[in-house]
């Protein structure tokens, strides 16, 4: 994997296996700072799209979706890997999504339920993903031996 202009470019043809090895990093901040930063970001995006509805009177589940989105795009290296992927490679994208959501769950446990919901939706879109993941895991285990 090579880094160019802040984005990662994948060298190998087996991008799926390579994506399984990337390191997902997430900046950890306290929950009140996370909420404040998330709301500031959502407000900026809402105003840019001429959406003037109140963003402060939302359900907790909506806030958790926004927080996960903010973490993925502003507080971790998800975007750099995502931009480096070939859009047609769904398996690599699913691996990136899964690994990012699992890392968010580990760093911000209060978002676990929403991360699980997003993971279920992700797996529902690509049931073959399980088979491919099992093949990758077996391949990696064989390399280690």
Q: Which residues contact 32 (CB under 8 A, 6 or more apart)?
A: none
Dihedral sign of CA atoms 138, 140, 141, 142 in order = positive
Helix (H) or strand (E) holding 4: strand 2-4
pLDDT score, position 70:
95
| Predicted confidence (pLDDT) per residue in 6-43, tens digit | 555 555 456 767 777 788 999 999 999 999 999 998 88
* pTM > 0.85: no
pLDDT > 90? residue 3: no
| Predicted confidence (pLDDT) per residue in 81-91, tens digit | 887 776 546 67
């Amino acid at each position: 994997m090579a880094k160019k202009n802040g984005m990662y470019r994948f060298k190998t043809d087996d991008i799926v296996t390579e994506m399984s090895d990337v390191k997902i990093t997430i900046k950890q901040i306290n929950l009140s700072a996370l909420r404040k930063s998330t709301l500031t970001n959502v407000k900026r995006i809402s105003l840019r799209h001429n959406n003037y509805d109140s963003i402060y009177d939302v359900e907790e589940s909506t806030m958790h979706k926004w927080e996960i989105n903010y973490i993925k795009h502003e507080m971790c290296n998800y975007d750099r890997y995502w931009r480096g992927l070939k859009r047609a490679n769904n398996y690599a994208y699913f691996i990136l999504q899964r690994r990012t959501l699992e890392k968010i769950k580990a760093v911000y446990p209060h978002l676990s339920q929403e991360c699980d919901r997003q993971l279920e939706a992700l797996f529902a879109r690509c049931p073959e993903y399980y088979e491919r993941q099992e093949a990758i895991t077996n391949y990696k285990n064989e390399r280690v031996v």
